[in-house]
Structure 1
Amino acid sequence: MLTALHNLQLVSDGQISTGKAVLINGDKITAVIDEHLIPAGAQKVDLQGAYAAPGLIDLQIYGSGGKMFGSMPEVAALQQMESDMLSQGTTGFLACIATNSDDVVEAGIEAAKAYRAQAKGNFWGLHLEGPYLNAKRKGAHPARYIKKATLAEVQRWITMAKGEIKMITIAPELQDQEVIDELHSQNIVISSGHSDAAYEQGKAFINKPVQAITHLFNAMPQMHHREPGIIPAIFEERPYTSIVADGIHVSFPMIRLAKHQLGDKLFLITDAVTAATEGAYQHQFTGDRYTMPDGTLSGSCLTMLKAVQNCVEQVGIELAEAINMASLYPAQLAGKTTKGKIAAGYDADLIIFDAGYQVQGTYLMGARINLQNR
């Protein structure tokens, strides 16, 4: 059955177009055409002037709806996240496991494998944030679980995961080159985060082969005129770099600076958590943010669409470019060559939202998701 989405504002690849229709056949977008050329016999879906954009992609989220997968991993938490993400227009995400005991990390790996057969399709795999971090920049990560990687442990987890580990955040300056080389050889995205790397160290490992940076400005040395730290190295080498655009983890003027420096390599994540009273990460919601019991800032309460809205309304980024930051650029980093655009041959993953940034609908691989009964 050919479906034609029409009466929409098409947001894709840095442009907003009107008078277009999106043709979907099965799980693929077959064409974007002028609205008056919709083929006879197509099932027409009137979007009533709403925005239609590529489904959003979150490469770092910990938990949702009261289930904190990142520290208490279980199949039910992944199921909750998939459903919640679809209701928010997020059609691809990596479930993040925070620095923790080996038992918890391995339980997360087993949960991901167990859930794979029943996954709806927007759960892409795991992002391990730690435990191979720099304790000096631990943030909310418990120092007692932070350690240096060993090749044997990395290989064991990779073998155990059977492809579910897609991304890992490490402090590269503390790791042996054989560990970095092994991760790279397994096509796992290596991201520098919770790192105390100096400028020269950053220049030596960014894009060689560490291809990403985790939550820019957070948990890293700040710029100083005599000790520049890693941030100027990031701006010069321009790896894919994530940022938490909530105005709390990073102020809006600093997001504007980062966008000016990094252009199409800056992408959005939520780093979102949920309230928890058990485990190593007992996140407490304090009005506009989550903190640990000692007051340390922890993950965000963002959605991806709210991050887009903040970029438009608070940072001054055009909507079409903010959508790129939430879809196209993370898709590119993740190696998803048929996601992040609304164009012929791309997967039919879309978010439909109105001028008030309220989600009106989600399409995952061509199927419209019922937002009321997920």
Structure 2
Amino acid sequence: MSTRQTLTGARIFDGDRWHDDAAVVVDGGLIEAIVARADVPAAAQTVNLGGGMLVPGFIDLQVNGGGGVMLNDAPSVEAIRTICAAHARYGTTALLPTLITDTPQITEAAVAAGEEAAAAEVPGFLGLHLEGPHLSLARKGAHDPKLIRPMTDADQAGLVAARTKMPVLLTTLAPESVEAWRVTALAGAGVIVSLGHSDAGYDVAMAYAGAGATMATHLFNAMSQIGNREPGLAGAAIDGGGFSAGLIADGIHVHSATMATALRAKRGPGHIFLVTDAMATIGTDMTSFTLNGRTVYRKDGSLRLADGTLAGADLDMISAVRFMHRVVGLDLAEALRMASLYPADAAGQGHRRGRLAAGMAADMVALSEGLDVSAVWIGGSKVFARA
């Protein structure tokens, strides 16, 4: 029995350009082709989307929780399933469940859950992001300072071993807690190293880029800022072409004018891409939750500790896309690339995700003209449809 299906009736964005009067042919979970509407294969099942847009699925490389669950509180494959499903309804078809700085025992449990999720091929699971515990106390943000510590040989070996069990393993670290030679060893083993929660200056950051770091975590947040004589980590992330950088586009973490300035200044080939830094609240009506034993309060679009410190974001991917397009003023195609193509490339997955092209995973999002998510497919299977 053929698994071929054709999606038509919508304007198609393939990650590079728009297609009108065209259709996407899917077979076996992969994109077979984009064809003219008149050339739709007769043998394929046809799905008429009835207008709107069909775009590549969104890829989120920093997701702490969703659906009422935090990975830190429930480091299990069931929690990963819940988080992936919660974000799928907002267009995210691949994500990295993210563990915030925690104990070695919780970290080990999260890695084991990630390995199990990879083996089970949980829809939407791309790998893990371990944000800490090897950070800078000076830029700890909402991370528990009692759990921040330098990287050891055992930590390094654990990361290298975990990378062999899942498609993507990303770790956020600070030069203050990790020697450059360890970064080289991690990068050589396929671990993606992102600099973040760090007060490191420009020269140190660029040296770590030379050692193998390729990303910066939530640009402008929890890092040294751009100054007139010291560009800081933020300046290095923008000026360093080898860096890609995540951006929390909620209008709370970073001012829209700062976002626009950074986008104009970013040196390639690295790009600025969207992340949500989402917490358990996504997909729920929760008003608070706990993180490392501390209460985080949800109010006015933000998540904060009792002292006002931002603790992640109350943000989903389609909202971030809308913000970049409507508030920052980006062309819609570029806002969509920031949610799909650029994070795919940053995660080393550009050969498989981020575009609608032959041989790519059939991860797709149907959007209304008003940029609401109508339907979502992961590997050609529909995982969400708006009633």
Q: What TM-score bracket applies, with the shorter chain setting the length? A: over 0.9
Secondary structure class of the residue paired with 1:48: coil
The answer for the alignment partner of 2:175 in structure 1 is 172
Q: Does 1:192 align with 2:203?
A: no
Identity %: 34
Q: Does 1:261 align with 2:274?
A: no
**Conserved 8 A contact 2:377-2:384:** no
| CA deviation string 1:169-190 (max 9, x = no partner) | 0002442233212211220100
The answer for the alignment partner of 1:361 in structure 2 is 375
Q: 1:281 to 1:261 in 2, by over 3 A?
A: farther
Question: Number of paired residues?
Answer: 373
Map 1:221-370; keep pairs closer than 5 Å.
Answer: 221-238=224-241, 239-262=243-266, 265-274=271-280, 275-277=288-290, 279-336=292-349, 337-370=351-384
Cα distance in 2, alignment partners of residues 41 and 174 from structure 1: 58
What letter corresponds to residue 254 of structure 2 in structure 1?
V
Further displaced range: 30-39 or 221-230 = 221-230
Secondary structure class of the residue paired with 2:123: coil
Give ranges in structure 1 of 5+ residues lacking alignment. Answer: none
| CA deviation string 1:275-310 (max 9, x = no partner) | 423634532211311111322111111111111110
**Conserved 8 A contact 2:272-2:342:** yes
Cα distance in 1, alignment partners of residues 193 and 159 from structure 2: 15
Secondary structure class of the residue paired with 2:32: strand
Q: In the TM superposition, what is the alpha-carbon distance from 1:199 to its structure 2 partner?
A: 1.6
What letter corresponds to residue 81 of structure 2 in structure 1?
Q
1:62 equivalent among 61, 64, 82: 64
Secondary structure class of the residue paired with 2:59: strand
What letter corresponds to residue 218 of structure 1 in structure 2?
N
**Conserved 8 A contact 2:183-2:211:** no
Cα distance in 2, alignment partners of residues 312 and 108 from structure 1: 35
Q: In the TM superposition, what is the alpha-carbon distance from 1:227 to its structure 2 partner?
A: 2.8
2:88 equivalent among 86, 99, 103: 86
**Conserved 8 A contact 1:132-1:171:** yes
Give ranges in structure 2 of 5+ residues lacking alignment. Answer: 281-287
Secondary structure class of the residue paired with 2:12: strand
Cα distance in 2, alignment partners of residues 303 and 133 from structure 1: 26
Cα distance in 1, alignment partners of residues 362 and 158 from structure 2: 36
Q: In the TM superposition, what is the alpha-carbon distance from 1:117 to its structure 2 partner?
A: 3.9
**Conserved 8 A contact 1:57-1:331:** yes
TM-score after normalising by structure 2: 0.91
What letter corresponds to residue 242 of structure 1 in structure 2?
G
**Conserved 8 A contact 1:86-1:362:** yes
Q: In the TM superposition, what is the alpha-carbon distance from 1:40 to its structure 2 partner?
A: 1.8
Q: In the TM superposition, what is the alpha-carbon distance from 1:370 to its structure 2 partner?
A: 4.2
Q: In the TM superposition, what is the alpha-carbon distance from 1:42 to its structure 2 partner?
A: 2.1
**Conserved 8 A contact 1:14-1:321:** no
Q: In the TM superposition, what is the alpha-carbon distance from 1:71 to its structure 2 partner?
A: 4.3
Q: In the TM superposition, what is the alpha-carbon distance from 1:265 to its structure 2 partner?
A: 0.6
**Conserved 8 A contact 2:144-2:292:** no
Q: 1:116 to 1:234 in 2, by over 3 A?
A: closer
**RMSD over aligned Cα atoms:** 1.9
Cα distance in 2, alignment partners of residues 11 and 232 from structure 1: 32
**Conserved 8 A contact 1:56-1:327:** yes
Q: In the TM superposition, what is the alpha-carbon distance from 1:9 to its structure 2 partner?
A: 1.0
2:6 equivalent among 4, 11, 21: 4
What letter corresponds to residue 333 of structure 2 in structure 1?
A
Cα distance in 2, alignment partners of residues 229 and 153 from structure 1: 27
Secondary structure class of the residue paired with 1:241: strand
Q: In the TM superposition, what is the alpha-carbon distance from 1:115 to its structure 2 partner?
A: 3.4
Cα distance in 2, alignment partners of residues 250 and 24 from structure 1: 38
Further displaced range: 242-251 or 66-75 = 66-75
What letter corresponds to residue 367 of structure 1 in structure 2?
S
TM-score after normalising by structure 1: 0.94
Cα distance in 2, alignment partners of residues 37 and 281 from structure 1: 58
2:142 equivalent among 132, 136, 140: 140
Q: In the TM superposition, what is the alpha-carbon distance from 1:372 to its structure 2 partner?
A: 6.9
**Conserved 8 A contact 1:189-1:334:** yes
